[in-house]
Chains A and B, each alone.
Chain A
Amino acid sequence: MTTTHADYRLSQLDQLEAESIHIFREVAAEFEKPVLMFSGGKDSIVMLRLAEKAFYPAKIPFPVLQIDTGLDFPEVLDTRDNWVGRLGVKLVVASIDDAIAQGVVIDDGKTSRNRMQTATLLNAIEENGFTAAFGGGRRDEEKARAKERVYSHRDEFGQWDPKMQRPELWSLYNGRIHAGEHMRIFPISNWTELDIWDYIGREGIEIPDIYFSHQRRVFERDGMLMSETPLNPLRAGETVEERTVRFRTCGDISLTGCVESTASTIPEIIAEISIAKLTERGATRGDDRFSEAAMEDRKKEGYF
């Protein structure tokens, strides 16, 4: 735990924490209606922890927004409820199915749930009048994210224009927006996957069980191990078997793969990641594999 240091040096993890807390406070002070986008994954849990610290002993002064894809891991929803309950924050759930029912999102049978998630999110932001939405994106995750500012401006259509980003100097963030626009805020931009795990370990905070090694019935698809679930029907030639696995990211069940792993504690996970050969998205995210610019294209449309 950080108290004081004889030589007045702050470890890199403490520096990252201080930077993130600064960002949370800045947004809470300058934006009318911020919201924290909570995916249930480790990154959004770390965000919640940082927000908790930024305003303590006061409660987090903004609600938490979750997009219910209908394809969420039950363990993730449990963790979400525990966190929201303990912190006493308001939870706003926007469901893709409701959005389809209301005709806000069109399900043409060809669009993935992932893409419909973007439309549902933008609709929820607009309906609730949110002016700033915190996201758990990290720049080390993916090459388009590596380019994004901490304050990332979105136009009335929720779009990101990577060629027109505002200069962002020192820690002086510019939160000006026009009516109908909003800002995406990435307080953990500078954290790496390893930092996230070090922090979870140090803070001793709750994350979904699926990050730890467990037995699961899985099948192989496009070189990834996918969970057997009625939400994800088998295709010809695919066979299910039980393996010892864990998840490195938690997205939508139908697109998120797991990796074979016996790591059942945080130090073991850290040891595993330190020697990992694949990025977490490359290893386990079907949504980023469609093209070299898959993430950039989705981000331009308004994805997380």
Chain B
Amino acid sequence: MSETNEGAANATNMDLLRFATAGSVDDGKSTLIGRLLLDSKSIFADQLEAVEATSVAKGYDYTDLALLTDGLRSEREQGITIDVAYRYFATPNRKFIIADTPGHVQYTRNMVTGASTADLGLVLVDARQGLTEQSRRHAVILSLLRVPHLVLAVNKMDLVDYSQEVYERIHAEFTTFATKLNIPDLEVIPISALAGDNVVNRSENMSWYSGPTLMHHLEHVHVASDRDLVDVRFPVQYVVRPKSDEHHDYRGYGGQVAGGILKPGDEVVVLPSGMTSTIEGIDLFDQEVTEAFPPMSVTVRLADDVDVSRGDMIARVKNAPTPSQDIDAMVCWMTTTPLKPRQKLAIKHTTRTARALVKDIQYRLDVNSLHRDQETKELGVNEIGRVQLRTTVPLLCDPYSQNRTTGSFILIDEATGITVGAGMINSGA
């Protein structure tokens, strides 16, 4: 049986906001997500009942909303978040994907995982404590990851008598710190995740605050303009060759548009070979489209029989990345054995995998003071530093500040197969 949804539910036209929480342990991240889900009526009765029952069993005075996202047994036992939990909710015009990330320093790599795809970072601080090393570290990471929008939620306002003075002090302290970072859009909102003030409903306890509630801000923050629609970047992922009688000569290049707008008739260059051709057609399943833009997954056909394979990139003749084997990047190191010069690793950049040699570790970034430590020549777990790499084959990259897809890479330990580092390419490399 099959029916078509004639009414075209609103859900099909909604846009999407991905956001990640950040902040120290116990600042209230998981509670806040629970509150957002609860007040936007996205919690199901069986989920709430399970959480209420567990809270009673543990002898808590109130329902611990954090239990809604702390889904692993060891997380509930220890009352902490170890790994990212993804949660979903929607309001009439927007769907939200939340990455609830852990606050502990030793789980920073999981925080980075959750934040890498975010449009918005939500940093919580406990109003009683103000900024901590962890909240600074997370703000730095969000800024390095170029998460374009940042919200500082000053939480637990109920425990400081909803004091405007406390809010203003933290606001000022953060603004000073943020001048050294790259944060294009900042909003500072006083909330109580536990009591619900300014989360979905406007607080009656903070008449001095005239800004948006958190939910209002999440619903209205403008994200469409964060993509690069100018510089065409199409990493070839998969060569589609049906080899059937019906589609005997079909040869298409499957991939997800990383930047710019592709159109049939466009003159393009295939990198690294440098061969040029014209886009003959762009297919989306059994239909031809007149344009493809990020983040569409399409199949591109070229007019000429040029040699194209996975790992290559299609760009415009006059606007293409320069292939390079020397990479200068900020690297976030994610494993206990430190990163050292001369080390060899596997590197994955867009659809291209190669090997990389660590030529130099220029400095380690102190995330608290933003001081560049040039003495230490290695990076420990959860540390961030500026690293020079030499790769076995040229990578077709852009600065991360220009394009989050063509500017990022991961490092893999060849012996264990584990992802050990995340890199963001610097400009002028």
Residues of A within 8 A of B (CB): 1-4, 7-15, 17-19, 21-22, 25-26, 28-29, 52-59, 139-140, 142-147, 162-163, 165-172, 174, 176-178, 189-190, 192, 194-195, 198, 201-202, 204-207, 209, 212, 265-267, 270, 276-279, 282-283, 292-293, 296
Contacts and interface: CB of A to CB of B under 8 A. Distances in A.
Given A8-B261, A163-B82, A174-B419, A18 B2 contact: no
B371 interface: no
B82 A3 contact: no
B250 A147 contact: no
Interface string B221-252: 00010010100000001101111101100100
A123 B410 CA distance: 32
Nearest to A149: B113
Nearest to A192: B88
Interface of B: 1-9, 11-16, 44-47, 50, 54, 68-74, 76, 82-88, 90, 94-95, 97, 109-110, 112-113, 116-117, 224, 227, 229, 237-238, 240-244, 246-247, 250, 254-256, 261, 283-287, 289-291, 293, 295-297, 299, 310, 334, 346, 348-351, 404-405, 408-410, 412, 417-419, 422
Contacts of A17: 297
A165 B85 CA distance: 12
Nearest to B1: A209
Given A57-B240, A58-B243, A198-B12, A25 B254 contact: yes
Most chain A beta-carbon contacts within 10 A, residue among B47, B71, B112: B71
A304 to B, nearest CB: 17
Contact of B408 (A2, A59, A169, A276): A169
B1 A206 contact: yes
19 contacts: A3-B289, A11-B13, A25-B254, A54-B297, A56-B283, A143-B72, A147-B83, A147-B85, A147-B86, A165-B110, A170-B116, A171-B405, A174-B412, A190-B86, A190-B97, A202-B5, A270-B9, A270-B11, A293-B73
Contact of A205 (B2, B6, B14, B229): B2
A201 B76 CA distance: 38
Given A10-B296, A22-B297, A167-B422, A296 B72 contact: yes
Contacts of A198: 5, 9, 11-12
A140 B88 contact: yes
A144 B86 CA distance: 10
5 tightest A-B contacts by CB?
A201-B5, A143-B71, A176-B417, A282-B46, A12-B16
B241 A58 contact: yes
B86 A139 contact: yes
Contact of A212 (B1, B14, B95): B1
A172 B348 CA distance: 7
A11 B14 contact: yes
Nearest to B350: A172
Contacts of A194: 11, 90
Nearest to B77: A293
A54 B254 contact: yes
B348 A189 contact: no
Contacts of B295: 10, 15, 18-19
Contacts of A276: 44
B346 to A, nearest CB: 8
B49 to A, nearest CB: 9
Given A29-B351, A58-B243, A282-B46, A166 B14 contact: no
